[in-house]
Every structure is written in C-alpha cells, then in structure tokens.
Structure 1
Amino acid sequence: YSNLQTVFKFLHVFTGRVKAANGLGIYVVEDGMHDQQTITTLQQLFDGMIEIRASGEHHCVRVVGLTPKPTPWFEYEIEGNHLKLKECK
C-alpha cells in the first residue's frame, strides 16, 4: 500500500512513457476500494474510463471521458468470441 502522492507520481511517469511509445495503457481500479477523491485524482492521468457494474444478474458497461458525455449503460454478454450489447435496464 502506497500513499496517493507516490502512486500519482509513478503513474504520471508511466502513462507518459506509454503515450511516448504510442501504446495503450489499461489500468484497473476496483470500485469501492478507494474514496472518490483518490479516483478523481487518478482520472486526471487517463484519457477515459470503461466502467463496469453489476445490475442484478446482468453486467453493464459504459465509456466515460472519450466523448463529450458518458455513453449509456449497455448490458454485455460474451459468447465465445462474440460480444453482445443491449441497453442496460
């Protein structure tokens, strides 16, 4: 466990290197593990987010930060190598 300032500095350098290499960085932050201030601070380092949530027996996904407004929530289902999306209820 590290403090937020240490993690932010590390990720700032790391994301810079990923961008300089024309790479794609994917970082996972589990919901509920950090307070909102921490999440807001770390979000500054990223171009966008893919949020995933459970809605009853369904799993939903949306994209935030890559478009002017977040996308709607979509229910997703993976069957083999196919991804099915429909509006999340």
Structure 2
Amino acid sequence: MELLNSDVILNLKYSLFFWISLGIFLFNIGFIPIVVIGEYISFTGVFRYVTYVLNLIMGTCFILGLVLSKKEYNKLTLTSLGE
C-alpha cells in the first residue's frame, strides 16, 4: 500500500523493470490467443506476421527501457520492496 501512496509510481517510465515487464506482457497478451486459435484453424502465413509484429513491439519496449531508464530508479533492494 505504501508503494501506491509514494512518488515511485510517478517515475515508472524511468524504470527498466517496467519496460521489460510491459514488453513481455504485451507479447503474451497478443501471442497466447493466437496460439489457442491456431489449434483450431490453419493460418501459417498470418501467424508469421503476427509473431513478427509482437516481437517488434516487445523489442521496442526493451529499447525504450534501455534508453529512458535512470540509474536511481533501477535499484532493487530489500528496502525498496518494503521489507
């Protein structure tokens, strides 16, 4: 609860952990339904393009994280976890 009340939330765009998590989340949100639907229909050409676009989105999130991240927002310690 302290995390939500602190100013850490305002600085999420400077955290590398946020960008990596966002990239993986967006990839999985798009990929899992395609795999499930692919079990029932055949669409090999579309699957290739969807996977390519999802990889581009994930890679873009990773690159943005590396470019925008600041060192002071990427420290992961026990005190930052609230313990």
- The question of a shared fold, defined as TM-score above 0.5 by the shorter chain, is answered with no
**Higher RCO (CA-CA < 8 Å; seq separation 6+):** 2
Higher relative helix content: 2
Query: Radius of gyration: which is bigger?
Result: 2
Task: Please give the TM-score of this superposition, normalised by the length of structure 1.
Answer: 0.27
